[in-house]
Structures are given as C-alpha cells and as structure tokens.
Structure 1
Amino acid sequence: MLIGAAGLAVDGGRMYLADRHLQNAVDAAALAGSMALPEDPDMDQGIAVAAAQEMLTANYPEATMVSAGPGSEVRSACVKGAANVDYLLMGVLGMSSGTVTAQACAGFNNLEIVLVLDTTGSMKGTPINNVKSAATNLVELILPSNTTPSTKIGMVPFRGMVRMRAGVDGVAAGCRNADGTLNNGKLLDVYKATKYRSPVGSSLKVDADTCSNISYAEALTTDRASILSRISALSADGSGSGTLISEGIKWGRHVLTPEAPFTQGSTDDKYRKIMIVLTDGDTEDGRCGGTYGISYTPNNYWTNAYFGMGLSAQYPAPANFPDCKDGGGLNAAVLTEAQTAKDLGVEIFSIRFGDSDATDVSLMKQIASSKSGTMDHYFNAPSAADILKVFKLIGRQLGHRLIPYNEAMGTSS
C-alpha cells in the first residue's frame, strides 16, 4: 500500500509535468502551423502540417502528432498531440505507463483590420494591381468562406483626401477636408483670383473634379464578398490632388474605433485593432520639387484636404497651408495622427513602397508599432512584386495567436 501511495504521488507528478510539457509543445506546434497558413491556408499542401510537426518534435521529441488540420470556423491550424509516460512505481499496481494528450489551435480571430491604401497616380499600373492582389489574398486568408468569422475588415483608400459615402458623418457624400467639411474636388473660387496666378497672367489649369476618382472608405465588415468587391474596384487612375498620408491614417482610426463617425468597431478588449498603411512614403502637394513638383499655381494640389477648407485666420494665404517639405506640416500631421491611433490601442503596420529618401523612410518607421529595438511592424517593398511578399509576412504575424479549440472548430466548450 505504501509503495502504491508513493507511486500515485511520484508518477502522478510525472504525468502532470508531462501534460504541461506536451501542452506547451502542442501550443508551439499550432503557432508554427499558423505561420504557414499564408502559403497553405487550407492545410492541404503539407506546408503547415510539416511546420507543426517540426515544432512539436523540436519541443517534445517523444510526442506523437495525432492530427493536424484546419479549424472549421476560423482560419487556423489545429494540432492534437499525445505522449506516453513510463511509470516508475505504479507497476506494483499493474500499470506500466500512461498517456497524456493535448490540443491547440492558432490563427486569425478577434481581429479588426483596416487597410489604408495609397491610390495616387504613383501607384498606377502594376503597383496598384499588386496591392489589390495582396489585399485580396489577405482577406481570403483571414475571412474563410462559409464560416461565421469574428474578424472584420475595412478599407480607406486615400490621395490628397478621402471619400465618404452618404450617412457616415452627417456630411453629404463626397470627399472630406482636414476639418471634416465637404470637399467636392473643385477649386474654390477664392483661389481663382488673379493674384494667385503664377506665372502672372497664366490661364487656369486645374481639373474639374479630383474627388470622384477616389474609391470610398469602407466600414468594418465580416462580409467577405463585399470587401473583396471593393478591393477589386480600386484604381489609381484619374485626376489627383496629391498624397496626404495623415488623412488616410485619421480615417483609418475612425473606421477602427467604436465612436462616431464609424461605429462598427468593438469595445471589447479581446479584439486586436490593426491598421495596415501602404504608401510610397511621400507626402505630396507639389511644393517639394522632384517628380511631382508643379511650378504654376493654382494647380490640382490646391483642391486637397487642406486647401479645400478655404482661407481662414489659421491659414490666411495658400502659402500658410502645411506643406510636404522635409519636416513640414504634412509630415508632422502623419506622426500626430499615427500617435493618436496608437494611444487608442491601434497597432500600425507600415509598408513603404518604391524609392524614398531617408526622411520618408524614417517617417514610415516612426508610425509603425514596432517593438523596442526592432522593425517588426515596418516593411520595405522596393518593387511592386515585393508588395505581395510583404502582405504575406504581415499575415503571418496576424495569425501568430492561440485560439480556444472550441472557437476554431465551432464546438461547444
């Protein structure tokens, strides 16, 4: 009896430790499998299963992977493992060994994601097509068909302003100025005065509408077909008004937070709020020279979200509006809007596309929510082809999260 009692204590303790060891190993295996989901979303290509098996073996060589497969309700990798534990003392009771089991899932749940996408003329052609493909792949990864997802996705395309549907913020459908007022994409009459013409006596050269070419901002939704349709319709064609990254970030924050103007964001702390900002990294209003500089005034940039507010005590002349120069007001606005979003719990991934100078690279690094000493939320995409790769890397990070097994499989707890 004494040996049996001792066996229960000793071997029971060994079983407990083995159970904990196995659970940790299975958790790690599920996370490894989830990291491979961007390449193997349905776990039918062997990539995710192999990753899970490798991690399980590395952490618990004696364990057996009983099964590995996709979750049925959430895009996830689910792993079950088992391990045999030899008894030291329980043999006197006729038992030589016992088995511990564990299960875990990891993947995409309780996410609210907004895609803040530069659709200016510099993105025309292959770049915008690859952005659309990459965004489509991410949506299809995170929102599987025929499920009831807990993840929502929204979108804010931007140029020199953003465009809202009717009923969002109490303002008519159309583009928005930096102060929230309506911008119809037309040059204000005040700027048509001859004193603003440069060269002196030149004719007016401003397009009639720089707003209607911009795709609408989209609220958070679980409707996969709807958001995919909106992404497919993105375009970088048509008249432009510059690049105001700050406006994209500001409205991205509005999409994610539960307060008006958008109210689809959750108040539950379990949701991870994600903003993915993709741009060529340059704020642009034509006053910085270079490829997109314009020497004559007024011009299309004079219809952007700042010029569209009109002159005021704060901005008594066109020259007073924030400009795109290094260290200028437009860059400062990007940092301010990013910090405001972060202070509200928004996690920002930034993607710099194309060639940018050191100032613009620094700007994109600063807005990213990278961990101290890392650049884990900042991504460089020098070419259009790199956009697809970067979105997959972000997808891996978003899916590196344990999920309760019953949530992933749609079973009762």
Structure 2
Amino acid sequence: MIRIQHLARRFVSDRRGSIVVPLAICTGVCLMVTGAAIDYTRAFNAKVDLQAAVDATALAANYDSQGLSEDKVKANAEGYFKAIYPGDIDEVELDVSVVKGTVTVTAGKPVNTVLGSLMNKPQIDVRVMSQTVVGKATFDVVMVLDNSGSMAGSRMSTLKKAAKDLTETLFKINEDGDRKDRVQIGLVPFTSFVNVGADKATASWMDQEGASPIHWKNFETRSNGTPDPAEFDSKLLTNGKPSRFTLFKQLKHTDWLGCVEARPMPYDVDDTPASSSNPATLFVPQFAPDEPSNANKKWGDSYYNNYLDDDRGACRTSSKKAARSSGMDRWEYAQKRLCKYKDQPRSLGNTTVNGPNYWCKTQPITDLTNDKSQVLRDIQTMNADGHTNIHQGAVWGWRVLSPSEPFTKGREPKKDEEEEHVRVMIVMTDGENTYQGQNSFNKTRINAYGYGTEERLGNGVDTYWEIQDKMDDRLLQTCSNAKKGGVQVYTVAFQISSSSTINMMKNCATTPAMAFDAKSNSALVDAFERIAEEITKLRLQM
C-alpha cells in the first residue's frame, strides 16, 4: 500500500511532457480558426461573383423590358443569368420577379465548408439581391469636351477613344430595347469660343438686328449706342437695321463660322431663352474688329489682328483726321471706324488666324441625337487648337440639354416617377481657364468676353488674370444653376497639376464622387467608362 502511494506521488510531481496537452488543445483551436477563415473567404468570393451576376441580370432585364410582358422579362432574365454566371448554375437557386414595373433578382447558393462540419456547420448559405425599375427612363447626355491646343497628340486621341466608348455603351440601351430614342447624346467642343454652327445665322435667337447691349462694343456708334445705318450697305440690312452679319456680308467671301460671344451678365450663366423683348438675352455672333494699322497704332502697343487698311473701303478721310472730331484717340478710332468694312474688296475666307473669325477654332455643337454614327463621326473630327474657356463650354452644354431655344431637342423632365427623365452633363478639361493678354489700349486680345477694356465681367475687371479669375467664378455659378435645374454634372480633370482647378472641377460636379481626377491617358478612359456605368445603372438598388 505504501508503495502504491509513493508511485502516485511521483506521477503527480513529474513535469516531463506537461506541454503536450495544452499544445494539442491550441493546435486544435488554430486549425479551427484557420478553417473558419478559409470557409468564410470562399463564401465571400462566391457572394461577390453571385452579386455581380445578379446586378448585370437586373440591368439586362431593365434594358430588354420595353414592350414585353412580365413573364417574358422574367424568362429573359433567367436566360441571361445562366449565360453569364461563372460558377455551377445547378448550385444556384434563382428567383426573378416583375411586379408593377420593378425587376427583382435574388439568388442563393450553398458553399461547402472545410472544417465547418466539426462545428455542425457543413455549409454557408450565400444570398444576394438586386432591383431595378423597368426601363421607362429616358436620358439626355451631353459631353462638354476641351479641344484646346494642349489636347494635341495622345491626349486628343485618348479623349476620342474615351468619348467613343461611352457613346457605344450608352447607345447600346437603345439597340437592346424596343425604344430607339431612350438615350440621346450631344457634343459641345470648346476652346476660346463655342461654335453654335454657321447655319444658325438666321435663327430667331441670334441678334440679327444689332440690338444686344454688347453688339456694337468696339465699333463706332452714335450717342444712343447704335451705329449710323448710312455706314453700311443698305441692301445688306435686316429690317432696315445693321448687325455684325452685315459686316460679314460686306467683306467679300468672308463667312461667319459660327462662334458666339458670351451673353452679358447675368445671362452668361443661365439658359434663359433668347427674346427680342430682352435684347441682352440674344446671342451675338463673334466679329473680331480690325485692329489699328501701323500708321495709327499707339506707340509701344502690339496688335495681333490687323487685317484691313484703316483708311480704305468706303472711308473718305484718314483715321488721323477723322479722329479729331470723334472724341477718341487715333488708335481707338482707327479700330472702331465702320467705313473700312464697306466697299471692301478684300476676301478673308475662312481663316481663324486673323480676321473677324479670330480664334474661332472649334467645330460646331452636335445637338442631342440618337444617331450613333453622327456622334461617333463628330467625335473623330475633333481637332486640338486654341485656348480654354470651360465656362462657355459648360453653359452651352446646359443649353443643349434644355428643351427651349437655342437648341430644342432636350426633353422635358417628367414628374411621373415611372416616366423619369435624366439629364447628364459631362465636363472635361485638361487645363485652367485662359484669357490672352495684349500690350495695347485693349488690354487683352479679343475673346468671348470682348476686350479687357470693356469690363464685361465686372467693374475694374480688365486684365487677363482678373478675367481668368472671373471665368472660374462664372463656371461655378453655371454649374450651380444647372444642378438646381435638375442636371446631373460629372467633371473630369485630365492631367491637371493646378490644385485650385481640380477643386473647381470637383465643386462643379453634383457630388465629389462624380468628379474624376484623371492623371494619365488610361485614367481618362477609365473615368469615362465609370461614368457610363453610373448612367446605365439607372436606379439600381443593392
């Protein structure tokens, strides 16, 4: 008995091999944790694949829904899911319902566990859902695209690819459904000016009678601010009144190319329809005046757009002599006198290097259309040349989306939720707003806001850098007004180093998430792809 007690005490006090039991317990726990991690990772990956397929199916069902019965929509959706799901379709429990125009797609599948059976959990059930409203929405989308000289080369070719891809993606909605005009797309290329199209010369919203308060800036006028009709060819007047169109016609074989100046404030930041009862709302054709010849220039001044002899045409006295009774300096009078445009045999053709179409570098606006070939063709013909006026691009983008003149293909937003209409503006630029200085009494070169001396953007705003700051302000005001008007605004800053410009573009967008900062060519393509995806999502509810 004593020996047994002795052996028992030795066994209890023996510490050899004491780690084995805890080690076995810890090893078991580690294996269970590792197994659980593996099981849940597999379940997560399966859920990602399932969710992607369900989202795509819900959207596809939406696109294909026009004119189809709910049973047909459901059958199409089931077929689409089976075609795109990468896993074993037999493992998936799929349900598609169409109730009052809402497509709901739910899917579930079991994922077998590795070690879950030890915890009495041999499977993890994965379930996902996606829902869209059957496609009764319509979309008007306008791309406002920077065509300035800095976009030359690979930047322009990349922009063309990005715009082409977005166009094809969005027009697929029309191609896949019964309704072929569900999506309309327009283009607003911009540089220093926006070109509304030379065919708009006789449009009612163009200032054909010289009535706008900015129409005769930089031209000789009487005390009432209008020119003497006797200074013009009477056969070329409109309702007995002269305009810049009259000046174009007096210059042989020199056509207006379609560029317009900015409307005076506050109409430069809105889509107020043009009306002859409010001349400030009318659109004024660009006509860059002939700047002083060397004989009449102010000492030390430099000019970039001298294209006529100040004392030729119908002028009967020299600028030097006539200026004495005008109350103006000789160089100012030489620039403003009208007689030099009359009986003028000189032909300036369609040049934009100098002449009345100075810096009208960009191609015309493409109005909203569902003609894919036209949009793709106009994208491919874009050319990089000129300076940057983002403000004018954006405000004309908004005007294209508006149903009222000057462009009237924009559709009215629908109040009925089932007939929703979405208006989208995409504003893309690769640089800051720019205005060109000039060492002359004009203070700047002629541009969309005239010369600096006119102070069109506010009292005392007459230098190129002050005008550029105001252009930023006017852009943001335009974006704010457009957003209040129901326009969804996306912005893309392309290879821009200026943090202030990047922030300006971000503030222009409807939300920060709708502002893209594309640092490379590939990032620009990705930005347009993401915007297209966002638009095509409609009202996808996860």
Per the alignment, in what secondary structure is the counterpart of residue 364 of structure 2? coil
Cα deviation, residue 177, structure 1: 0.3
1:361 aligns with 2:502: yes
Look up the SS of the partner of 2:513 in the other structure: coil
In 2, Cα distance between equivalents of 1:261 and 1:105: 33
Distance 1:49 1:164, change over 3 A: same
Match of 2:447 among 285, 300, 304: 304
1:261 aligns with 2:406: yes
Deviations 1:334-373 (A, max 9, x none): 1111111111101100000113312111101100111xxx
Q: 1:243 aligns with which of 363, 385, 388?
A: 388
Distance 2:443 2:522 in 1: 30
The Cα shift of 1:112 comes to 0.7
In the aligned structure 2, how far is the partner of 1:131 from the partner of 1:83?
Answer: 41
Contact 1:278 1:352 in 2 (8 A): yes
Percent identity, aligned pairs only?
25
- Tell me the alpha carbon deviations over residues 13-47 of structure 1, each in whole angstroms, 9 at most, x when there is no partner: xxxxxxxxxxxxx99855355789xxxxxxxxxxx
1:284 corresponds to which letter in structure 2? T
Q: Flag structure 1 segments of 5+ consecutive residues without an equivalent.
A: 1-25, 37-47, 67-77, 85-101, 288-294, 404-413
**Alignment check: 8 A CA contact 2:193 2:360 kept:** no
Residue 226 of structure 2 is matched in structure 1 by none
Following TM superposition, by how much is the alpha carbon of 1:283 offset from its aligned partner in structure 2, in angstroms? 0.5
Alignment of 1:345-360 (within 5 A): 345-360=486-501
Q: Structure 1 residues 203 and 215, CA, compared in 2 at 3 Å: closer, same or farther?
A: closer
Partner of 1:221: 369
Q: Does 1:63 align with 2:93?
A: yes
| Structure 2 residue matching 1:114: 3-state secondary structure | strand
Q: 2:528 aligns with which of 386, 391, 396?
A: 391
Whole-angstrom CA distance in 2 between matches of 1:217 and 1:357: 28
Task: State the secondary structure of the residue aligned to 1:157.
Answer: strand
Structure 2, unaligned runs of 5 or more: 1-49, 61-79, 97-102, 110-129, 207-244, 246-255, 264-281, 307-352, 415-419
Measured against aligned partners, the alpha-carbon deviations of 1:241-287 in whole angstroms (never above 9, x if no partner) come to: x2111111110110001111111111132111100000024001135
Partner of 2:205: 170
Alignment of 1:11-160 (within 5 A): 30-32=54-56, 53=85, 63-64=93-94, 110-144=138-172, 146=175, 148-160=180-192
- 1:159-186 deviation per Cα after TM superposition (whole angstroms, max 9, x unaligned): 11100122356337610101154444x6
* Distance (whole Å) between structure 1 residues aligned to residue 393 and residue 85 of structure 2: 42
Is 1:343 aligned to residue 484 of structure 2? yes
| Alpha-carbon offset, residue 63 of structure 1 | 2.2
Check the 8 A contact 2:443/2:453 in 1, yes or no.
no
TM-score for both structures, normalised by structure 1 = 0.65
CA distance in 1, matches of 2:500, 2:468: 8
Describe the SS at the equivalent of 1:303: coil
The 8 Å contact of residues 108 and 142 in structure 1, kept in 2 or not, is answered as no
Higher radius of gyration, 1 or 2:
2
Aligned pair in 2 of structure 1 residues 277, 343: CA closer, same or farther (>3 Å)?
A: same
Of residues 272, 278, 282 in structure 1, which corresponds to 2:428? 278
Cα deviation, residue 305, structure 1: 0.5
Q: Aligned equivalents of 1:231 and 1:332: distance in 2? A: 29
Q: What SS is found at the alignment partner of 1:155?
A: strand
Bigger share in strand: 1
Aligned equivalents of 1:105 and 1:315: distance in 2? 46
Q: How far off is 1:83 after superposition?
A: 7.9
Structure 2 contact 189–365 (Cα < 8 Å) conserved: yes
Classify 1:342/1:52 alpha carbon distance in 2 versus 1 (closer, same or farther; 3 Å). Answer: farther
CA displacement 1:58-112 (0-9 Å, x = unmatched): xxx962378xxxxxxxxxxx9966789xxxxxxxxxxxxxxxxx99688895111
Q: RMSD of aligned C-alpha atoms?
A: 4.3
Q: Which letter maps to 1:200?
A: G
The 8 Å contact of residues 279 and 352 in structure 1, kept in 2 or not, is answered as: yes
1:161 and 1:65 map into 2 onto residues whose CA distance is 54
Aligned-pair distance for 1:386?
A: 1.8
Structure 1: distance between partners of 2:510 and 2:261: 27
- C-alpha distance in 1, partners of 2:59/2:358? 41
